[in-house]
Amino acid sequence: MTDLIVVAPGPLTTVQDLGRAGYADLGVPLSGAADRRALKLANRLVGNTEWAAGLEVTLGGLRLRARRQVLIAITGAPADARIDDVDRGHHNATVLPAGAELFVPSPRSGLRTYVAVRGGIDVAPVLGSRSTDLLSGLGPAPLRAGDELAVGDLTGPWPSATEAPWDVLDPHRPVPLYASAGPRINHLEDPAALYTGIWTVNPASDRVGVRLDGNQGLRHRSDVGEMRSEPVALGSIQIPPSGQPVIFLADHPTTGGYPVVGVLVADSIYAAAQLTPGREVRFVAD
């Protein structure tokens, strides 16, 4: 049964859950929500199980029409959702009546907003996950106008709270990203240089990784030979020959041939997933 109709998908809206863990040895990325914390919160607000699939909305623009009444929640990058042009706020659960239209505008800050529906978005799982993987092409395609979505039954008890606070970062200061030293930190001429200076988010960033630009650049040691490809984890900070860091996000490849000099802590991975082009960041030793 069709429960929701996509009127407009915005620049990019995908179905995401917590990903397909356990297949990295086969070259299959984890994928899943780039900001897992935001999706988990949205699911809690509608009383879903943790693994229920929701919608990841990049830069807003999503319009959904309900064929039947459903309970929804909006979290992640703050975008004041509207139902039939009535403001319904953010980081809260609300009823989307039958025949009504939800609009998720561009967020005031951040990049990715999440929409959970009580019961979860019901698409066919691939390797145990309903997530769209833009690198490998696994899972459902990004949403298009006219797509019809079913709602599943991945529910728990009725939610005890229908709203939640959220962190607001100072837009005038670089975002601090906390990172532990990576396994190849000594491949840099100056390992401490990772934690100095300010980096700027490159517009070429996506769900695979956040590309950073900085005048300081991180130089590889000349006495270290070329690396063999080796496994890389979610949140890894990889340094290609350009010296400009790349932070691996949800759709990152499972192996890489450039040195991983740091790994973000969990909360900083979620913060990295919300970075918009031009945003300044700094690394902080964890």
Q: Given pLDDT bands bounded at 50, 70 and 90, which one contains residue 96?
A: very high
pTM confidence score: 0.95
Read off the pLDDT band of 167 (50, 70, 90): confident
Dihedral angle, C-alpha 91, 95, 97, 100, nearest 10 °:
-10
Q: Is the pLDDT reported for residue 168 higher than 80? A: no
166 pLDDT more than 80: no
223's CB contacts (< 8 A; 6+ apart) are none
Indicate if the pLDDT at residue 29 is higher than 90.
Answer: no
Beta strand 101-104 with 62-66 is antiparallel
Mean pLDDT of 240-259: 93
- Predicted confidence at residue 207, as pLDDT, reads 96
Q: Is the per-residue pLDDT at 58 higher than 90? A: yes
Give yes or no for a contact between 227 and 258, defined as CB atoms under 8 angstroms apart. Answer: yes
